[in-house]
Amino acid sequence: MYILRCNLLPKTFHGLVLGETTASALEQYDRMVRQFIRKWLRLPHDTPTAYFHAKAADGGLEIPRLRYVIPVMKNRRISKLEGSLDPVMQYVVTSPSFLGIKARSAKVAKVAGQVLDTGRDVKKLLATQLYTSVDGRGLRQQRQTPRINNWVCNGSQLLCGGDYIAAVKVRGNLLPTQERSTRGRRTAPTMCDAMCNAQGTLAHISQSCTRTHLLRSARHNSVLDYIVTKAEAKGYNVVREPVIPTRVGRRKPDLVAEVDGVILIVDVTIVADHCNLDSPFEEKVTYYNTTDIVDWIIATYPGKVWEFGAVVFNWRGALNRRSSVLLRRLGVSAGDETLLSCRVLTFTSSMFKFFTQSTVRAGWRAVL
Ligand SMILES: [Zn+2]
């Protein structure tokens, strides 16, 4: 994938920009590229086209879309020639053949009713196409912390081949769930076969299915363990899951850490992909910011100031931007954030695998 994106496709740019290419030929090249990627990553045939080409930061795989990119590059080159002060070039740009090339190139740059002038237009169009697809609409939150998507295209060895494919599939909602496998040919909603009274989607399997309850806890604890380890390595005083008695019951934030004289009360949560990640952050702050908990902090850490916060991921690996700032204060680096995002994705993939192999149903006691 890395060689295709950074070496093979850029090598074709020169010939395609300088030569005569039609829209249909470019479309055919794109189709060929997607065919190979589908084979390499074992992606389903109905993977949204925009998922291949949208920027990694927007949630895609960032493979150049020749049909969109080449006309933009060609038009830019034509504009530069027209702006040349060289008398020979000034004569060339007024010739009928040049004007013909210019007219044809301008026509090719018109896609889906809009003219693509710059790379930014291409990026925006691909993101819009991705977010309007059924599988891609849950990727809107990826832009909250764009750099956590670096693993998709930086060619690093953070994930082995199998895990990379699993992570790409979870992120794109491409695993063959009951709901996805019957899409377009069902007459009634396809319910979860664990009898949960919910549709058998990856969102359900990841977030609320009876069958994956224990793995859901394991995913949460895995993220929390990593943050605690990093904070302790920095020398911060960290208390994991302290029990705080309040008038409305016991409260147990995931961690309380003393960082540079400030007491941070933090909860870790992995949420659904349809909501804005700022809402769960605010909900956690409101949940813990009560008189009883503040009294407990004053009694336990006298003379200190305090702050409430949350580390909010969604099951597609997106991270809230305020959580990212909080993680940095806890000693978790930008590279660690990427690792945590990949951990969420690979855990979600394992949950799906377990779901398909298990026979546990709602009302039964789940046993791993
Ligand atoms: Zn279920």
User: Could you tell me the distance, in angstroms and rounded to a whole number, from the CA of residue 183 to the centre of ligand 1?
Assistant: 18
Per-residue tokens: 237: 């005083």
User: Could you tell me the distance, in angstroms and rounded to a whole number, from the CA of residue 244 to the centre of ligand 1?
Assistant: 32
Cα 285 from Cα 307, distance rounded (Å): 9
Q: Is the pLDDT of residue 366 over 80?
A: no
User: Could you tell me the distance, in angstroms and rounded to a whole number, from the CA of residue 188 to the centre of ligand 1?
Assistant: 17
User: Could you tell me the distance, in angstroms and rounded to a whole number, from the CA of residue 142 to the centre of ligand 1?
Assistant: 26
Q: How confident is the model at residue 108 (pLDDT cuts 50, 70, 90)?
A: confident
Cβ atoms of residues 214 and 354 within 8 Å:
no
**In this predicted model, what pLDDT tens digit does every residue of 67-78 receive, in sequence order?**
999 999 999 998
Q: Which pLDDT belongs to residue 363? A: 60
User: Could you tell me the distance, in angstroms and rounded to a whole number, from the CA of residue 232 to the centre of ligand 1?
Assistant: 37
Beta bridge mates, 262 = 259, 305
Average pLDDT, rounded, for the chain? 89
CA distances from 210 to 22, 78, 123, 273, 356 (A): 53, 60, 39, 19, 13
User: Could you tell me the distance, in angstroms and rounded to a whole number, from the CA of residue 170 to the centre of ligand 1?
Assistant: 17
Cβ atoms of residues 33 and 4 within 8 Å:
yes
User: Could you tell me the distance, in angstroms and rounded to a whole number, from the CA of residue 365 to the centre of ligand 1?
Assistant: 14
CA 307, 310, 316: angle at the middle one, nearest 5?
160
Q: How confident is the model at residue 192 (pLDDT cuts 50, 70, 90)?
A: confident
Residues 6+ apart with CB under 8 A from 23: 67, 71, 108
**In this predicted model, what pLDDT tens digit does every residue of 7-44 receive, in sequence order?**
899 999 988 988 888 889 999 999 999 999 999 999 99
User: Could you tell me the distance, in angstroms and rounded to a whole number, from the CA of residue 204 to the centre of ligand 1?
Assistant: 6
Cβ atoms of residues 312 and 282 within 8 Å:
no
What is the DSSP-derived secondary structure letter of residue 366?
Answer: P
**Can you tell me the mean pLDDT for 311-329?**
93
CA dihedral sign, ordered 319, 310, 280, 252 = positive
User: Could you tell me the distance, in angstroms and rounded to a whole number, from the CA of residue 210 to the centre of ligand 1?
Assistant: 6
**In this predicted model, what pLDDT tens digit does every residue of 115-126 receive, in sequence order?**
888 889 999 999
Cβ atoms of residues 54 and 172 within 8 Å:
no
Q: Is the pLDDT of residue 326 over 80?
A: yes
Domains of the chain, residue spans: 2-133, 147-368
User: Could you tell me the distance, in angstroms and rounded to a whole number, from the CA of residue 84 to the centre of ligand 1?
Assistant: 65
Of the two residues 253 and 365, the one the predictor is more confident about is: 253
User: Could you tell me the distance, in angstroms and rounded to a whole number, from the CA of residue 362 to the centre of ligand 1?
Assistant: 7
**In this predicted model, what pLDDT tens digit does every residue of 132-142 receive, in sequence order?**
998 999 899 99
Query: Which residue has tokens 């084979």?
Result: 39
Q: Which pLDDT belongs to residue 368? A: 46
Cα 364 from Cα 338, distance rounded (Å): 36
Residue 49 host element (H or E): helix 49-53
User: Could you tell me the distance, in angstroms and rounded to a whole number, from the CA of residue 192 to the centre of ligand 1?
Assistant: 5
Q: Which pLDDT belongs to residue 307? A: 92
User: Could you tell me the distance, in angstroms and rounded to a whole number, from the CA of residue 360 to the centre of ligand 1?
Assistant: 10
CA distances from 192 to 189, 201, 209, 354 (A): 10, 8, 8, 14
**In this predicted model, what pLDDT tens digit does every residue of 235-293 receive, in sequence order?**
999 999 999 988 988 999 999 999 888 999 999 999 998 888 999 999 999 999 999 99
User: Could you tell me the distance, in angstroms and rounded to a whole number, from the CA of residue 202 to the centre of ligand 1?
Assistant: 10
User: Could you tell me the distance, in angstroms and rounded to a whole number, from the CA of residue 344 to the centre of ligand 1?
Assistant: 19
User: Could you tell me the distance, in angstroms and rounded to a whole number, from the CA of residue 319 to the centre of ligand 1?
Assistant: 25
User: Could you tell me the distance, in angstroms and rounded to a whole number, from the CA of residue 337 to the centre of ligand 1?
Assistant: 29
User: Could you tell me the distance, in angstroms and rounded to a whole number, from the CA of residue 196 to the centre of ligand 1?
Assistant: 4
User: Could you tell me the distance, in angstroms and rounded to a whole number, from the CA of residue 197 to the centre of ligand 1?
Assistant: 7
User: Could you tell me the distance, in angstroms and rounded to a whole number, from the CA of residue 51 to the centre of ligand 1?
Assistant: 27
User: Could you tell me the distance, in angstroms and rounded to a whole number, from the CA of residue 200 to the centre of ligand 1?
Assistant: 6
Residues 6+ apart with CB under 8 A from 260: 329
User: Could you tell me the distance, in angstroms and rounded to a whole number, from the CA of residue 285 to the centre of ligand 1?
Assistant: 29
User: Could you tell me the distance, in angstroms and rounded to a whole number, from the CA of residue 299 to the centre of ligand 1?
Assistant: 43
User: Could you tell me the distance, in angstroms and rounded to a whole number, from the CA of residue 180 to the centre of ligand 1?
Assistant: 14
Cβ atoms of residues 273 and 313 within 8 Å:
no
CA distances from 10 to 35, 64, 71, 106, 157 (A): 18, 9, 14, 22, 23
Q: Which pLDDT belongs to residue 87? A: 85
Amino acid identity, residue 24? S
User: Could you tell me the distance, in angstroms and rounded to a whole number, from the CA of residue 266 to the centre of ligand 1?
Assistant: 29
CA distances from 83 to 24, 105, 118 (A): 30, 17, 17
pTM for the model: 0.87
Q: Is the pLDDT of residue 365 over 70?
A: no
User: Could you tell me the distance, in angstroms and rounded to a whole number, from the CA of residue 219 to the centre of ligand 1?
Assistant: 17
